[in-house]
């Protein structure tokens, strides 16, 4: 949703497509990496390395990505987010 929030309507589909390409590529590459690490060093190492990479990418996103959802105060408060209001 964050990608489509910030992408211009004329190239929103392309932006989401590129995001999905890298996301889905990460799934495939992560599985290959985990398999190779498990073969070489054992399953514990494979899980640990993949977890560290995932944690690191989460830290980067938390530090670098800006919120795209309008604040609750400017949108009328928490009650305005309720689907029945």
Measured CA to CA, the distance from residue 50 to residue 32 in angstroms comes to 11
Q: What is the pLDDT of residue 17?
A: 92
At residue 72, does pLDDT exceed 70? no
Nearest to 2 by CA among 66, 78, 54: 66
At residue 79, does pLDDT exceed 70? no
Measured CA to CA, the distance from residue 4 to residue 16 in angstroms comes to 7
Measured CA to CA, the distance from residue 23 to residue 54 in angstroms comes to 12
Measured CA to CA, the distance from residue 46 to residue 35 in angstroms comes to 7
Q: What is the pLDDT of residue 81?
A: 54
Task: Read off the pLDDT of residues 14-68 as tens digits, 9 standing for 90 and up.
Answer: 999 998 999 999 999 999 999 999 999 999 999 999 999 999 999 998 898 887 7
């Amino acid at each position: 949703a964050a990608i489509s929030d910030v992408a211009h309507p004329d190239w929103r589909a392309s932006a989401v497509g590129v995001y999905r390409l890298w996301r889905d590529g990460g799934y495939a590459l992560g599985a290959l990496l985990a398999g190779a690490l498990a073969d070489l060093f054992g399953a514990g190492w494979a899980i640990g390395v993949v977890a560290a990479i995932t944690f690191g990418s989460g830290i980067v996103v938390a530090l670098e990505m800006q919120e795209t959802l309008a604040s609750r105060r400017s949108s009328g408060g928490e009650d305005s987010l309720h689907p029945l209001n």
